Structure 1
Amino acid sequence: MSQQERGEAAVRRLLDTGAPASVPPELHAEAVRRGARSLRRRTAVRRLLWLLLLAAAVAFAVWASTAQPWVEPPSRTTPPLTRW
C-alpha cells in the first residue's frame, strides 16, 4: 500500500465515522474576538497608509507648485545682452 493510498484510507475512515469532532464552546467566541481584532487592525493600517499616501501627494503638489521643476533655470554661463 502506497503513502497516498494510506492517506486516502485515513480520510475515508474519518469521513465514514460521521460524528463531528467536538469543539470547545469557548473556541467560537475566541475566534470571533480575534477575527474582529484582526479586521480592525487591518482596517486601521489601510486607512493610515491611505492617509500617508494622501499627505505625500499633497506635499509633492505643494513642492512642485513652488519649485516649478518643469521651468528651465536661467542660463548663468553667458552675460545678458545690454546693448544691441
Structure 2
Amino acid sequence: MNRPEREAAVRRLMETLPVSVPPGLPGEAARRGERLLRLLRTGRRLLWLLLGAAAVAFLTWAALTRPWAEPPSSTTPPVSRW
C-alpha cells in the first residue's frame, strides 16, 4: 500500500460515522492516567530524595576522611631532637 492509497483509506475511515464509545471508558481512562501520573511523580520524588541522601552521605564521608590528602609516611622515622 503506497502513500496515496493510505491517505484515501484514512479519509474513508474519517468520513464514516463516529464509533460509539462505551459510557464508562473515558472516565476509566482519565482515572488510570491520573494514577499513572501520580505514580511517576512519586517515583521521581523518591529518586531525587535518594540522590540527595547519597550526596549528603558522600560529602559527610569526604569531609571526615579527606581522601584527597596524602597519608602520613610510615617509612621514615619521626624527627626527634638532636
Task: Settle same-fold status: TM greater than 0.5.
Answer: yes
Aligned partners of 2:11 and 2:37: how far apart in 1?
36
Counting aligned pairs with the same residue, the percent is: 62
1:79 to 64, 77, 80: 77
1:54 to 52, 55, 61: 52
1:42-79 CA distances to partner (integer Å, 9 max, x unpaired)?
A: 01100100110011011111111111112211111111
SS at match of 1:25: coil
Aligned partners of 1:12 and 1:36: how far apart in 2?
33
Aligned partners of 2:79 and 2:5: how far apart in 1?
94
Deviates more, 1:4-13 or 1:59-68: 4-13
User: What is residue 8 of structure 1 aligned with on the other side?
Assistant: 7
Aligned partners of 2:52 and 2:70: how far apart in 1?
28
4+ residue runs over 3 A deviation: none
Deviates more, 1:36-45 or 1:66-75: 66-75
Aligned partners of 1:50 and 1:30: how far apart in 2?
30
Unpaired runs of 5+ residues, structure 2, are none
CA drift at 1:10: 1.4
SS at match of 2:24: helix
CA drift at 1:36: 0.8
User: What is residue 23 of structure 2 aligned with on the other side?
Assistant: 25
1:68 to 59, 66, 72: 66
Pairs aligned (count): 81
TM-score norm. by structure 2 comes to: 0.86
